[in-house]
Structure 1
Amino acid sequence: MEHVDCVVVGAGVVGLAVARAIAQTGRDVWVLEACDAIGTQTSSRSSEVIHAGIYYPSGSLKARLCVQGKQQLYHYLEERQLPFQRCGKLMVATRPEQMQQLESLHRQAIANGVFDLEFLSAAQATAMEPHLHCVGALWSPSTGILDSHALMVSLWGDLEAAGGVVALNSPLASAMYAHGAINLVASDGTELQTALVINAAGLQACAVARHCKGMRVDTIPQARYAKGNYFILAGRSPFTHLVYPMPEAAGLGVHLTLDLGGQARFGPDVQWVDDPADLEVEPGRGEAFYQAIRSYWPTLPDGALQPAYAGIRPKISGPGEPAADFLIQTAEAHGVPGWINLFGIESPGLTSALAIADHVVGLIHAT
């Protein structure tokens, strides 16, 4: 049996960030990844947006770690010369009655420590984006975009430089706490013994927690899967900034984002599914996209949208329920010393990754 200081389950952006941070404290770290490459699930199927920290309830982990993580992420990207753009975002009211929502978002942003938002008139907004329709907007200059794969490769490199290891094709089969240590068995039969496990398995985090004998089952939330479909724009985008409509119950609406090459993509919508492997984009969903997008881009041409890709949000709240906060759970809650669960790490998980890592390291040091 191999002995290691720490095992991180999951090599998405959050798992890699956490493993890197722990390895840089001098611990020996292994990362077990079920897939044949890093970041192939939620981390590679997002909008790749660096969020400002506007939408989340004051005092929540999402609010605090997003605002903190945004600053850390920009610094990291600049320091490592990784590709990103601080392109900014327009949050738009397309009807007069939505102006109150803009004002509410502004108040929420200030409560969360985001002080750089600016109200724009319709004329000011359309001066920035001539094809845009709105009655008013909020401008967020600290919103940006990045190459999530380049970020993950860099985090992986940092982890290896600190002595850490990523084991691909290594799903966790079972775990048990006994005699002051956690014994893990991977699907290929590899046995590991450790004092510290970080469950950063994303879509599989709840299932991974259930693999651990002795964990209080009543503390493990039910996994919910909110599929987000994306469509891309055929041809050149007339927009140079991100455009977000008013938020919806389970997401931020069908917004317009850009990749680093200037390609416009729209989404995600919200489609509740039972299977996290359900990643097919149904072309027929494009009809609802046209309707949503034309509320802020009325001249979107017919036939301009093409199905692109889908991602699954690893939610722990279901349809009609208030959006859950990140749930970062220690032995005090679930009863297994040395095991930390990261549940419901959906958006803004990418933006928050480095801050989540620091938070986890702080929890380790506190025990």
Structure 2
Amino acid sequence: MLCTIQMILEQPLFENAQILAGKSYLNNIVNRLSVFDCPVKDSMLDKNIVEHGDLFLSGLDQFTENPQALKKFISILTDMRCSALIITDENPSLITPDVVKQCNRGSLPVIMIDRNISYASIMDTINKLTVQKYYHALNASKLTNLKTGKLNSLEKKRILNSINPKFGEFICLITVQGSTHSPITENDLTAFFMKRPRDIYINHDNIHYFIFSDDARHSLLKNRDTFRKSLGLYFSDYIAGISLAHPIMEINFCFSESDLAMDTARFLHENQVVYDVNSLLQLLMKLKDTQELYRYHDSLIATINAYKSENDTTLFDTLHQYVLCKGSYRETAAAMNQRETTIRYRMNRLRQILGLEDDIVQFHTCITVLVIINQLMQRD
């Protein structure tokens, strides 16, 4: 996401700012900042030097003797679709009801700040934020190309070098969906990764990408795990997916693994999950939208449901609880308030129904997969 007026107002410097007009247009995007405090002349400010997305800063002193000139100035800003006008609190009477209406019609927020806030600090805050947002947006578009584009090795290497020419031989990815505690926290994250020459932080559209790299796989995983344990310091409500380490030219595996791990975290209602190549749940989640998985589920359910003598869903409910209890007859019986012999009878009956009386391993695999698929379908 590019820099907006709302993002600027969230900065500590603007915590006491007042919105005098255009409150509905705080999502206006800021492209650059200009100061306009010179005496008004017809030739001083015209549409040739104003561009779409400009944010103007002014004390309005030049309009005190000629309030009508302010309306002309605002007309230029609205005609050119400028992002906002920030004024100091020295001349608030110039923002009359008519001016407010003019700004509202022209989608131009007018924001008033304390006169004691220096222009230098305002410009420094806004310029840093604008540059930072462009930096994140540009690198996010490059990540999209790496993630979705069919690139050859040369193209992939060129994009990776443009993101960070100091990447190491191995790379891994932590993808976080959520909001940081505050704009200060996000700035801290940016500053923290600026000091790490082999790593990079990219934030775009509420998705935070943390790319770690190193020439040694074990060092890379150590850095990854140290940082992931600190995510709670930066995010209050988040979901994170963590990839394994791969050679840098295999970064596409990092994207697919972190996305799948994030889906798993969401499914399990956990804050973060590390991709596990041996996880049956993650394997099935990768297949969850395929017809083959649904056919497998429906076929088994239909076979079980054909035996209505077991009171409709009783068999499946027992099967489900048995899997949740990790194959313990005693715990399943306690959870269902049944005798252990009853649970044993039902599970033996299921083995007969599924034709797996002589293959206990296949039976347990089958019912475990069935329960996981059923949970996936229920969540969808």
TM more than 0.5: no
**Structure with more helix by fraction:** 2
TM-score of the pair, normalised by structure 2: 0.19
TM-score of the pair, normalised by structure 1: 0.19
**Structure with more strand by fraction:** 1
Greater relative contact order: 1 or 2 (C-alpha under 8 angstroms, separation 6 or more)?
A: 1
Tell which structure's C-alpha radius of gyration is larger. Answer: 2
